Every structure is written in structure tokens, then in C-alpha cells.
């Protein structure tokens, strides 16, 4: 019995004279991924978070003039457990998403960068909405995740031609003194990782750095320090983006606020744990590019924002440290 799923059963009657409340709770139940056993009877796998959220929903329903009962129980046997789990099969939802990604991918080459960025946000939200209520993942979820990653790679290829492939290796410490007054080269049409890396270089490594924006990595001069492309001196290693590799290589990781900033750049460049500040940074950078700024102008403008974000993350670290004492 210990291997059987434990469930939350919500039995409710929504107020007949409050259409707004009925619609709000119907949508909430759908968003939480509840399965419908029959009219007014909903099922959800039990865990601490779901229990709290459903209890809060019960209170709200009662206050709105309805009635609700929240029960906990375990599956009777394996057959019932399987029957209930199948109610949460998201294969159809994943299939719809995969077909949408396939069709949308065909249009990427004809879209403006801002439109591609909007599509990435939209499709990411759609994928995460399904994955968030996929309580019993199966092969459909694996195929959908693969399709989503392929879509992101295709979009990145349009937004940032020559995007580096992650390499396996060791990030070796280097001396800042060996990188003073240098020419630093990366791909033109800057995006998050490259603009943040250029800012890091000029602020912490080489204050006299000159930047060369390449139409193709093949055009990188022999004497320049390349970054964020395959074969560059500094690029993606072991799942870490170029910004993180530069910070580690030059011993900047422990700078106040750098951990938070690194997490933000990483999430925007290759995905991962969402950082609240990421959406704002991405929106500002998208707007700056829509204004037609050159790469030099873009670096100047975004550097001010990166300065402010570093101070913001540093302040967060101080607050967290005080709370731990």
C-alpha cells in the first residue's frame, strides 16, 4: 500500500448566483490540473503544496456562497491507482504542443527578432504550463521536452547565428594582467550572454578593452581574445555560459551580487531556474534592439542596467546574510 498514490478529493457546489466566482474557480481547478470524476467532484495527487492551495480554495468557495469538502485518501489497490493516474495523462496536450512547435518553427526565418523572442516566451509558457501539471510523466513528456529544446535551438540559430555548443573541459584560472588593453571579439548582433560578457570584461577585467563585433567567428583576428563562439578563448563549458566561464576564469564569482547576475544570464541564455529579474532585463534589451541601436550603443545602454542589477543582487545577498544570523 505504501507505493500507492495518495489523493485529494474536492467535492464542491459553486454559487448559482455568482457567475464570476464560478468562472474563477473553474479556471483555477483547470490550471491546477485537477481531474474531473463527475460534476462537482475533482481529484488531485496529494502533496503539501496542493493541500494548502486546495484548502485555501475551499475557504474562498465558502466565502463566495458555495460549499466544499476536501478529503484525503489512498488508492484502494494498484488497479485503482492506475485508473486514477490515467486521468492525468497529458499526452494529448503534449501532442498538440509538439504539432504547434513544428508549424511555428517553419516561420522562424521570416520573423523579426522581436517576434521570435515573443514566440519563445509564449511557447515556453505553454510548455511549462503542461509540465507543471504533469504529475505522472511518461514518454510523451520526454518527446515534448525534446521538441521544445529543438525549437529553442532553432530560434537561437536565427537570433544568434553561430551560437556556441557547450564543450566539456576544465575552467582554468587566468591572470587579469595578461589581458589588459586587448581587443576582444565576439559575434555581432549582441544578445544576453554576449552583452553581459562584454560588460563583465570592461568592468572587472580590462577597463581599456576594445570590442570587435564579428559577422562570422571565422573573421576573428589572430591577436584578438575571442569569446562566446566555438573555438573562442572563452565560451560555454560544462553547461556554464560564457558569462559564467569568464567570471570563474578571472576569479570574479565572489564579487557581491555576481551569483544572482550569473543565474539571470544563465536562465536567459540556456534556460533553467527562473530568475524574477530576467523578464525585465530581456524586455529592456528587446526594446533597445527594436530602437535600432548599434552593438556599441547597445553595450553602453545595457551596461548601466547591468551595473544596477549587480547592486540589486548584492543588496539581496546582504539581506539574506542578515536573516541567516
Q: Domain spans of the chain?
A: 6-86, 91-159, 176-324
Taking the C-alpha atoms of residue 89 and residue 101, their distance in angstroms, rounded to an integer, is 20
Q: How many CA atoms lie within 13 A of 324 on its CB side?
A: 6
For residue 80, pLDDT over 80 is answered with: yes
pTM for the model stands at: 0.59
Mean pLDDT score of the chain: 91
Taking the C-alpha atoms of residue 205 and residue 249, their distance in angstroms, rounded to an integer, is 10
pLDDT band at 164 (very low <50, low <70, confident <90, very high): confident
| Alpha helices per DSSP H over 180-294 | 192-200, 242-249, 258-270, 276-290
Q: Which three cell numbers stand for residue 252?
A: 570574479
| Alpha helices per DSSP H over 160-235 | 192-200
For residue 85, pLDDT over 80 is answered with: yes
Q: What pLDDT is recorded for position 14?
A: 87
pLDDT band at 173 (very low <50, low <70, confident <90, very high): very high
Q: What pLDDT is recorded for position 148?
A: 87
Q: What pLDDT is recorded for position 1?
A: 47
* Dihedral, CA of residue 224, residue 230, residue 233 and residue 237, to nearest 10: 160
Taking the C-alpha atoms of residue 176 and residue 243, their distance in angstroms, rounded to an integer, is 16
Q: How do beta strands 6-13 and 67-74 pair? A: antiparallel
Q: Among residues 99, 235, 224, 98, which one has the least CA distance to residue 160? A: 235
| CATH architecture for residues 6-86 | 2-Layer Sandwich (3.30)
Amino acid at each position: 500500500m505504501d507505493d500507492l498514490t495518495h489523493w485529494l478529493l474536492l467535492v464542491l457546489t459553486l454559487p448559482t448566483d455568482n457567475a464570476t466566482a464560478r468562472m474563477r474557480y473553474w479556471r483555477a481547478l483547470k490550471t491546477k490540473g485537477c481531474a474531473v470524476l463527475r460534476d462537482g467532484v475533482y481529484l488531485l495527487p496529494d502533496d503539501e503544496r496542493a493541500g494548502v492551495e486546495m484548502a485555501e480554495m475551499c475557504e474562498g468557495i465558502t466565502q463566495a456562497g458555495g460549499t466544499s469538502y476536501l478529503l484525503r485518501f489512498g488508492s484502494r489497490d494498484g488497479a485503482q491507482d492506475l485508473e486514477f493516474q490515467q486521468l492525468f495523462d497529458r499526452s494529448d496536450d503534449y501532442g498538440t504542443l509538439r504539432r504547434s512547435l513544428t508549424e511555428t518553427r517553419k516561420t522562424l526565418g521570416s520573423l523579426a527578432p522581436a517576434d521570435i523572442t515573443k514566440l519563445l516566451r509564449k511557447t515556453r509558457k505553454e510548455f511549462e504550463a503542461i509540465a507543471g501539471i504533469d504529475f505522472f510523466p511518461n514518454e510523451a513528456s520526454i518527446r515534448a521536452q525534446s521538441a521544445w529544446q529543438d525549437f529553442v535551438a532553432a530560434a537561437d540559430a536565427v537570433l544568434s547565428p553561430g551560437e556556441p555548443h557547450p564543450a566539456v573541459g576544465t575552467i582554468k584560472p587566468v591572470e587579469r594582467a595578461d589581458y589588459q588593453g586587448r581587443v576582444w571579439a565576439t559575434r555581432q548582433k549582441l544578445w544576453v550572454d554576449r552583452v553581459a560578457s562584454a560588460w563583465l570584461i570592461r568592468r572587472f577585467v580590462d577597463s581599456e578593452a576594445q570590442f570587435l563585433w564579428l559577422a562570422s567567428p571565422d573573421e576573428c583576428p589572430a591577436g584578438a581574445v575571442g569569446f562566446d563562439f566555438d573555438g573562442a578563448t572563452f565560451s560555454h563549458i560544462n553547461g556554464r555560459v560564457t558569462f559564467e566561464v569568464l567570471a570563474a576564469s578571472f576569479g570574479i564569482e565572489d564579487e557581491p551580487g555576481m551569483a544572482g547576475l550569473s543565474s539571470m544570464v544563465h536562465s536567459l541564455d540556456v534556460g533553467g531556474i527562473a530568475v524574477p529579474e530576467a523578464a525585465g532585463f530581456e524586455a529592456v534589451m528587446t526594446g533597445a534592439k527594436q530602437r535600432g541601436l548599434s552593438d556599441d550603443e547597445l553595450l553602453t545602454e545595457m551596461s548601466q542596467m547591468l551595473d544596477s542589477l549587480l547592486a540589486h543582487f548584492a543588496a539581496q545577498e546582504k539581506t539574506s546574510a542578515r536573516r541567516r544570523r
